[in-house]
Amino acid sequence: MALAVFIFFLAGGQYLKQPRGEMDNVPAYLAKVREDVMSESWDQAEIDCEKLESAWRMVIPRIQYSVERDDINSINRNLTRLKGWLMVKDKPNSMVELQEAEMFWNELGK
């Protein structure tokens, strides 16, 4: 019984990262920021990026036991750099960061 709980806890990254509501829906916010960047709505992109970061912060406590710390740090880095690129309204680099963050997100817990 104890082993089954441990296995779920340590191998359940894929399940645990799934959104529990609107507030922690990381993939949805990633998509929103991408749309904002594509349409060059920079102010909205910054607002959505804050929401994205807040959603990500809500997910971390759930997944921190089952995923690599380096993966968490990588997404943290992507989001920090993304904020910088949005500030200077740099479309290509913003897209690169979003793409990379999405790749890390998809690989998280696999």
Partner 1 sequence: MSLLNEALVVVVRGVIAFITLLIFTRVLGKQQLSQLTYFDYILGITIGSIAATMTTDLTARAWPQLVGLITWTGAVFVLQWITLKWRYASKYIDGEPTVVIMNGQIMEDVLKKMRFRVADLLEQLRTKGVFDLSEVEFAVLETNGQLSVLKKSQYQPVTANDLNLPTNYKGISSELIYDGVVVEQNLQQVNLDRPWLEAQLRKLGFNDPSEIFIASLNTNGDLYIDAYKDRVKNLTDISDYH
Site for partner 1 in 62-91 (CB under 8 A): 64-70, 72-73, 76
- CA dist 86 → 49, 56, 60, 61, 73 (Å): 9, 18, 23, 27, 20
> In sequence order, what E strands does the chain have?
none
Q: Does 92 bind partner 1 (CB under 8 A)?
A: no
Binding mask 11-40 for partner 1 (x = CB under 8 A): x-x---------------------------
Task: Compare residues 2 and 88 and give the one whose CB is closer to partner 1.
Answer: 2
Other CB atoms within 10 A of residue 102 CB: 17
Q: What whole-number distance in Å separates Cα of residue 28 and Cα of residue 88?
A: 23
Q: Does 55 bind partner 1 (CB under 8 A)?
A: no
Which residues form the interface with partner 1 (CB under 8 A)?
2-3, 6-7, 9-11, 13, 60-61, 64-70, 72-73, 76, 109
